[in-house]
Amino acid sequence: MAAKIIDGKQIAETIRGELKNRISILKEKGITPGLGVILVGNNPASHSYVTAKERACDSIGIYSDDNRLPEDVTETDLLTKINEMNLDPKIHGILVQLPLPKHINESTVLSAIDPKKDVDGFHPINVGKMMIGEDTFFPCTPHGVLQMLLRSKIETSGKHVVVIGRSNIVGKPVANMLLQKRDGANATVTLCHTGTKSIKSHTLQADILIAASGFPNTVTADMVKPGAVVIDVGVNRIEDNTKKSGYRLVGDVDYEGVSAIASAITPVPGGVGPMTITMLLYNTVLSAEIELREGSEL
């Protein structure tokens, strides 16, 4: 029996509809959620991604402040721009598109963002809150994965989740979020990485398998327990001369083989990808709501 497809586009559209309603309430009270975007350099993938985020903001009524800086911008000038946004009352969320040029310290830049405006969820303070189970801005891709599981009515409590990949952007946070004692989590989590011996022995135990390795075909059918749920976070470009672009997008999972074994699976594209941008919008709206709530308590 073929796996059920977990449609990230559809789930993202549902969440964006919910956000539109929340934004309408905020605007009635004089607040328009604002996202400040900083893009350094001319990386084509980053330009495309930032443009998509700005379009998404416009589509649901979020104000977007677009800032494109040259490749050779100094770290000092970049930090100055971030501080301006920290102090700007129209900006509720700040996004610094990664990766940054090599002459700029990524950690310094992310730490300079006001934690109350850290809608990417990368500031050390917000990472720390996430680790100890406090409410905070969750990193967008991991949060998107949890929303997909929750809204697809896939039980996580007591299940064995295996995560492949230990990046600070996906692997570590999604593992931590899933082990927390809360609804949509409460799982037993195994985190595999390049130092793990016999990854297959771990993945075959997974009720839910999350692939975030960054390499195509990391997960093949012989690595998946029949009936497991498979979440493919990867996005990889593969040469394909039959396509006008010269390439096609694939995930970290052998979709054709694994979909014949899994009970549910996310496609690439159209799976986790749309959720990442949507959860950025979610965090921006949440930040505006927190500001309104805190302001009314003064």
pTM > 0.85: yes or no:
yes
| CATH fold for the domain made of 140-273 | Rossmann fold (3.40.50)
219-230 per-position pLDDT tens digit: 999 999 999 999
Tell me the average pLDDT across 132-150: 97
d(CA 198, CA 259): 22
237-286 per-position pLDDT tens digit: 888 888 887 888 899 999 999 999 999 999 999 999 999 999 999 999 99
Burial of 62 (0-12, 13-18, 19+ CB in 10 A): buried
The catalytic residue positions are 53, 97, 120
Q: Are 275 and 148 in contact (CB under 8 A)?
A: yes
Buried b (16+ CB within 10 A) or exposed e, 156-189: beebbbbbbbbeebbbbbbbbbbbbeeebbebeb
Q: Where in the chain is the domain with CATH 3.40.50.10860?
A: 32-117
> Is 80 exceeded by the pLDDT of residue 297?
no
Q: Are 35 and 62 in contact (CB under 8 A)?
A: yes
Residue 167: pLDDT band (50, 70, 90) is: very high
Tell me the average pLDDT across 156-176: 97
**Mean pLDDT of the chain, nearest integer:** 95
d(CA 248, CA 241): 9
Tell me the average pLDDT across 201-220: 97
User: Which CATH code fits 32-117?
Assistant: 3.40.50.10860
Q: Where in the chain is the domain with CATH 3.40.50.720?
A: 140-273
Q: Are 287 and 116 in contact (CB under 8 A)?
A: yes
Residue 296: pLDDT band (50, 70, 90) is: low
Residue 236: pLDDT band (50, 70, 90) is: confident
